[in-house]
Amino acid sequence: MRGGRSRRPCKAGGVIRPPRPDIQTVGIIGTGAMGRGIAQIAAQAGLTVNLYDANPQAVEAARQYLQDTLDKLAAKGRISPDDASATLARVKPCGKLEDLAGCDAVVEAIVERLDVKRDLVAKLEAIVQPDAIIASNTSSLSITAIAVGAKHPGRIAGYHFFNPVPLMKVVEVIDGLSGDGAVGDALMELSRRMGHTPVRCKDMPGFIVNHAGRGMNIEGLKVAQEGVAEYADIDDIMREQAGFRMGPFELMDLTGLDVSHPVMESIYSQFYQEPRYRPSPIAALRSVGGLVGRKAGAGFYSYPDGRKTRPTPAAPAPAARPKSVWVSRACEHGHTLVTNLLSKLGTTPETGTLPSADALIVVTPLGLDATSCALQEGLDATRTVAVDTLLPFEATKRRTIMTTPATTATDRDAAHGLFASDGVPVTVIRDSAGFVGQRVICSIVNIASDIAQQRIATPSDIDLAVNLGLGYPKGPLALGDAIGPQRILECLRNLERLTGDMSYRPSPWLWRRAGLGLSLLWD
């Protein structure tokens, strides 16, 4: 953490006992997907793993699962058969909690209930040595709260892995208010030994990854709730225009609304109704209706036989081209991008101060809607369409245009035909402040900026955690730098002014660095 952390030793019966720097034996409590995964990477790293579950049959099932997994890795040539056998031999099944007495560190991966975790900590403190670390793999509970009532709260830390553990190479190390910095240091080193990339953060709701992930899903749901575009269209835009691996609705179907919606509600509640994290009634209603995603066979998409199907897309617009095109200069950056694109598409836009009587009118708002642009510039709304220019066209595989409520079908189709004439797909959306991509991207960058502003983690750790934990094309702060902090700020201020929604208010971290011309990664 910034400026380093004091290495305050733990006290055991009046004797100073710092945490063990060289961890050799790890106890793991809980044999679900997370517990099995942590056991696998620890054993593969040469550590002895004492594996315990309240259900003895679950321990044997987990060890069998590990054997099958290691055998598959050996069959694929990723490890040798000898390594597979040696790794499994290091996983010791335990029949009772007392079998963890000799562990240097114990990681619990049990049910997400505060009372159950506190009870487990109390039992462990009566069993393990005073210098043994007790770590929680919680994804949603406060580490400080888990440590309340412990005899030695300094040795309790958060150690949040992601599923599947062997493939998701990031782990969050969380310092509680009463935590000893040396304990976090030891877990950071243990993570590297197990082949994972650790990121350090303080104890706040959602830590880094679940906190930063609010922008994608919550804003995507808000766009859909406003009737701007269909679920599949929003996903297409975020994948092919914005460059994300999945759109918000594909992601929520994969995670399951039974998991993701409670997280949305929890973080919103823990931040005392912060508008940036406001959940959606769409998610609540679909959760109640059982449309939770892929595992239920139906979510935002249908999954017959486990394969995603999407609604049949609307017939493409006819390949019409307008007789003439006029591009607004209200946003000079957008005017330049669109004019250059039109040149490549074989169209030279009009150069007059105002459009001719028959011209298709193109505006390029940042954070505004097409209607506002038409009204502010005194343009004919029936011929006006807006084009999203937040990202350069050459960097995208899809383009987005939006209409005013008054835009004629003829002008809409002419714009569609023109901007898709080189084979790049175009999504036509209804009028929206900030299109789709602008809203989601700017929300992601703004939330990450506020995580940095709150000193929850360093800017570099925020980007590293999100890049590895969520698979974004760039870390959110680096993404903001690539687009330009000033442009992100302009979008957010226009969104806030137009909608009156406080969720778009820019973080001080963002507006200060935008004003000073600094990188969002500048600490």
Q: Which three-class secondary structure string do you get for 89-128?
A: HCEEEECCHHHHCCCCEEEECCCCCHHHHHHHHHHHHCCC
Q: What is the pLDDT of residue 140?
A: 87
Query: In the predicted model, is pLDDT for residue 9 greater than 50?
Result: no
Report the pLDDT averaged over residues 324-348: 97
Strand partners for 175: 202
Q: 236 by DSSP, 3-state: which?
A: helix
Token readout for 24 is 């050799």
Mean pLDDT for all residues in the chain = 94
Q: What is the pLDDT of residue 15?
A: 34
Report the pLDDT averaged over residues 413-439: 96
Q: What is the pLDDT of residue 11?
A: 41
Degrees to nearest 5, angle at CA 449 with 444 and 455: 135
Q: Is the bond into 56 cis (omega within 30 degrees of 0)?
A: no
Q: 99 by DSSP, 3-state: which?
A: helix
- Percent pLDDT > 70 in the chain is 95
Q: What is the pLDDT of residue 344?
A: 96
Please indicate whether residue 98 is annotated as part of the active site.
no
Query: In the predicted model, is pLDDT for residue 255 greater than 50?
Result: yes
| Measured distance CA(399)–CA(426) in Å, rounded | 5
Please indicate whether residue 210 is annotated as part of the active site.
yes
Q: Residue 96, by phi and psi: left (phi above 0), alpha (psi -120 to 50) or beta?
A: beta
Please indicate whether residue 302 is annotated as part of the active site.
no
Token readout for 212 is 């930063």
- Of the residues 108, 137, 160, 280, which is catalytic? 160
| Measured distance CA(171)–CA(163) in Å, rounded | 10
Q: Point out the least confidently predicted range of 29-43, 83-97, 314-328, 429-443.
A: 314-328
Continuous segment of H or E residues that includes residue 363: strand 360-363
Which one has a higher pLDDT value, 305 or 333?
333
Q: What is the pLDDT of residue 314?
A: 65
Q: What is the pLDDT of residue 7?
A: 39
Per-residue pLDDT band at 17 (split at 50, 70, 90): low
- Of the residues 142, 191, 210, 280, which is catalytic? 210
DSSP letter at 112 equals S
Report the pLDDT averaged over residues 77-89: 97
> How far out from the chain centre does Cα 448 lie?
10
Q: What is the pLDDT of residue 306?
A: 84
Q: Say how many residues make up the chain.
A: 523
Per-residue pLDDT band at 305 (split at 50, 70, 90): confident
Q: Point out the least confidently predicted range of 10-14, 123-127, 160-164.
A: 10-14
Q: Write phi, then psi, for 157 (nearest 5 degrees).
A: -140, 165
- Contact between residue 364 and residue 358 where contact means Cβ atoms under 8 Å apart: no
Burial of 67 (0-12, 13-18, 19+ CB in 10 A): middle
Query: In the predicted model, is pLDDT for residue 514 greater than 60?
Result: yes
- Of the residues 50, 108, 136, 172, which is catalytic? 172
Per-residue pLDDT band at 22 (split at 50, 70, 90): confident
| Measured distance CA(422)–CA(346) in Å, rounded | 10
Query: In the predicted model, is pLDDT for residue 507 greater than 60?
Result: yes
Please indicate whether residue 139 is annotated as part of the active site.
yes
Query: In the predicted model, is pLDDT for residue 8 greater than 50?
Result: no
Per-residue pLDDT band at 4 (split at 50, 70, 90): very low
Q: What is the pTM of this model?
A: 0.93
Report the pLDDT averaged over residues 417-438: 96
Query: In the predicted model, is pLDDT for residue 1 greater than 50?
Result: no
- Of the residues 50, 137, 139, 446, which is catalytic? 139
Burial of 4 (0-12, 13-18, 19+ CB in 10 A): exposed
Query: In the predicted model, is pLDDT for residue 466 greater than 60?
Result: yes
Q: Write phi, then psi, for 302 (nearest 5 degrees).
A: -95, 150
| Measured distance CA(474)–CA(460) in Å, rounded | 12
Q: What is the pLDDT of residue 93?
A: 97
| Measured distance CA(92)–CA(107) in Å, rounded | 15
Strand partners for 399: 426
Q: What is the pLDDT of residue 316?
A: 62
Query: In the predicted model, is pLDDT for residue 266 greater than 80?
Result: yes
